[in-house]
């Protein structure tokens, strides 16, 4: 058995597989407008048709003039922002590739906690007075203020 020839074919096979993987990844990145997710443009959120209702609601909401999707749905630290975007991007990619998401779309628990944290951060002048005695309150701002970020539901 010629080990040099076998090793050469194995190398060619590995390079071909790597090329296919890179090509498929690049195609998917272009097709899904992947680079747009690095921006802060709310239009990015409607790259997926299931987000149209949330986007339309945001345009009608009181937050439209003062907050983008990232202001509420992404962490604000320099590293945590990109980790959140990567985590959400991964989950969205898997969900939309395999079509295994709930319709209407629902927020994950970890994203809901982040949303709550951002409500409290932006509105600290109000929330400090409410939560000072109950720092670990389980209630979410959006439980009562559900139309604030995405406008009237109907």
Tens digit of pLDDT for each residue in 115-147?
988 988 898 888 777 766 655 555 678 878 877
CA angle 90–95–96, rounded 5-degree value: 100
Q: In angstroms, how far is CA 89 from the centroid of its own chain?
A: 5
Residues 50 and 91 in one domain: yes
> How many domains does the chain divide into?
2
* Within a domain: 77: yes
**With a threshold of 0.85, does the pTM exceed it?**
no
What sign does the CA torsion over 65, 112, 43, 122 have? Answer: positive
Range of the domain at 18: 1-31
| Residue 96, domain CATH | 1.10.3820.10
* Within a domain: 37: no
* Within a domain: 97: yes
Q: For 75-127, how does the pLDDT look when each residue is reduced to its tens digit (9 = 90+)? A: 999 899 999 988 988 888 788 778 888 887 788 888 888 998 898 889 888 87
């Amino acid at each position: 058995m010629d080990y040099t020839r076998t090793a050469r074919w194995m190398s060619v096979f590995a390079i071909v597989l790597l090329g296919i993987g890179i090509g498929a990844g690049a195609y998917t990145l272009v097709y899904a407008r992947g680079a747009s997710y690095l921006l802060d443009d709310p239009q990015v959120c409607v790259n997926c048709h299931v987000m149209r209702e949330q986007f339309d609601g945001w345009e009608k909401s009181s937050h439209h003039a003062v907050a983008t999707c990232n202001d509420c749905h992404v962490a604000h630290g320099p590293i945590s922002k990109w980790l959140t975007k990567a985590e959400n991007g991964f989950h969205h990619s898997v969900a939309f590739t395999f079509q295994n998401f709930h319709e209407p779309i629902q927020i994950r628990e970890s994203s809901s906690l982040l949303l709550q944290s951002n409500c409290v951060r932006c509105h600290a002048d109000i929330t400090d007075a409410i939560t000072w005695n109950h720092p670990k309150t389980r209630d979410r701002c959006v439980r009562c203020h559900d139309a604030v970020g995405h406008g009237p539901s109907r």
